[in-house]
Copies of this chain bind each other. A is one copy, B any other.
Amino acid sequence: MEPLFAFTPAQEIEQRICRVQSEMAAEGVDALLVTSNTNIYYTTGRVINGYVYIPASGHAVYFVRRPVGIEGDNVVYIHKPEQILGKIEELGLSRPDTLGYELGALDCVTFSRLDKAFDGIRSVNISPLFRRVRSVKSAYEIDKLKLSGVKHERVYRRIPHIYREGMTDIELQIEIERVSRLEGCLGQFRIAGESMELFMSNILVGDNADAPTPYDFAMGGRGLDPSLPVGADGTVIKGGMSVMVDSNGNFTGYMTDMTRVYALTQLNELASRAHQCSIDICRCLEREAKPGVAASHLYETAMAMVKERDLERYFMGYAQKAGFIGHGVGIEINELPVIAPRSRDILALNNVIAIEPKFVIPHVGAVGIENTYVVTDSGLKSLTNAPEGIVSLL
């Protein structure tokens, strides 16, 4: 037998659940049922096949289907969700009038079955509630992110030593994947929403950076196969091309996001200038971004700097543009807040955000950096500290 909280301190989990419950009170939700791996991990510190039932107050109940062998207060093994309501009543908890579901992540067939199992109980969507709660990280979570950042940085420092003459983008990517995995990268890349797909990293060399993708990432790339049209496409790395490396930073279940640019020879003036603009935007936003500041203000500040330097044509893509310059990160790569012109998000203390002002320069490729930051009272604190200039691969 293994305790439910074998991996994350019970107190940390309790605090998370308290924060969920205080949001539930504000929204008038009597109870909620957690169903996604992401939020099950958030509310247990592990992945289980089952359901976490959180009442408006008091302890959560953990309904487990698999794996066998978990024990703890309020751990109840079930075969099917139709057993949950009866078990809740057996535990002396009252039947809720409204029950929250993660409707943004739950498929309609599964929801329909659950809704029948909780017959007569009104359903409400608590996906936004969880996104809000998870956007403010605890000290425990920030430690996980810091550790990811340290390991992530180690990988980036090794990239110039990995390069060998004549390599293609994908050959370089494969060696980066290997070094990353040996450093402890878990590989898995949790993304909210079903339609985003990416394997490990996005490495863009030369004009492939301008190939538009169906995905809503900051940059594109043709990919190796039409079944996964994003990233490296087999371009041979040559002088004058930029090599943008945006690689997976999931070393702890919490991801840092980082981008750096490499090159064989000095890039042209426009590319160098755009890269410097990206660094300058990061420096500026590091000062500007404090609790209470609007996410849209960060976007506008960046865009004003881009326009002032006449770089708008290249900003966030050339053939196709991304509509944001940053996003929250944590268990998933696309958390709140979203740094975009129409974002209504307001920065809060201990948000963790990736900022990625990038440019695509025709005939050169993608330039710009990305760092993952914690929002503190004095501005942003970077978790990803590899050198930011364009690094020579030679």
Which residue numbers of A lie inside 8 Å of B, CB to CB?
6-8, 36-37, 41, 45-50, 65-69, 101, 103-109, 111-112, 125, 127, 170-171, 174-175, 177-178, 181-182, 184, 186-188, 193-195, 197, 199-200, 212-216, 220, 224-229, 252-253, 319-320, 331
Question: Which residues from chain B contact A175 at a C-beta distance below 8 Å?
Answer: 178
State whether B215 touches A199 (Cβ < 8 A): no
Known: A7-B226, A104-B109, A174-B181. 17 other contacts (CB 8 A): A36-B194, A36-B195, A37-B197, A45-B226, A47-B228, A47-B229, A49-B195, A66-B215, A66-B320, A68-B212, A68-B319, A69-B319, A103-B112, A106-B108, A175-B178, A227-B252, A227-B253
A212 to B48 alpha-carbon distance, docked (Å) = 11
State whether A47 touches B214 (Cβ < 8 A): yes
- Do A67 and B212 form a contact, CB below 8 Å, given A41-B227, A103-B107, A107-B107? yes
Question: Which residues from chain B contact A106 at a C-beta distance below 8 Å?
Answer: 107-108
Q: Quick one: closest B residue to A254, CB to CB?
A: B227
- Do A194 and B37 form a contact, CB below 8 Å, given A8-B226, A187-B200? yes
State whether A66 touches B213 (Cβ < 8 A): yes
Question: Which residues from chain B contact A47 at a C-beta distance below 8 Å?
Answer: 197, 214, 226-229
Q: Quick one: closest B residue to A224, CB to CB?
A: B186
Top 8 closest pairs, chain A to chain B, by CB: A227-B253, A67-B212, A187-B199, A7-B226, A103-B108, A49-B214, A46-B226, A174-B181
Q: Which of B7, B41, B194 contacts A107 (CB 8 A)?
A: B194
A300 to B7 alpha-carbon distance, docked (Å) = 40
Question: Which residues from chain B contact A103 at a C-beta distance below 8 Å?
Answer: 107-109, 112
Q: Which of B105, B182, B194, B253 contacts A228 (CB 8 A)?
A: B253
A196 to B195 alpha-carbon distance, docked (Å) = 16
Question: Which residues from chain B contact A107 at a C-beta distance below 8 Å?
Answer: 103-108, 193-194
Can you give 19 A-B contacts (C-beta < 8 A)?
A8-B226, A37-B194, A47-B214, A66-B214, A103-B108, A104-B107, A104-B108, A104-B109, A106-B108, A108-B125, A177-B177, A178-B178, A186-B225, A186-B228, A188-B199, A194-B194, A226-B253, A227-B331, A228-B253
State whether A66 touches B253 (Cβ < 8 A): no
Question: Which residues from chain B contact A125 at a C-beta distance below 8 Å?
Answer: 108-109
Q: Quick one: closest B residue to A193, CB to CB?
A: B107
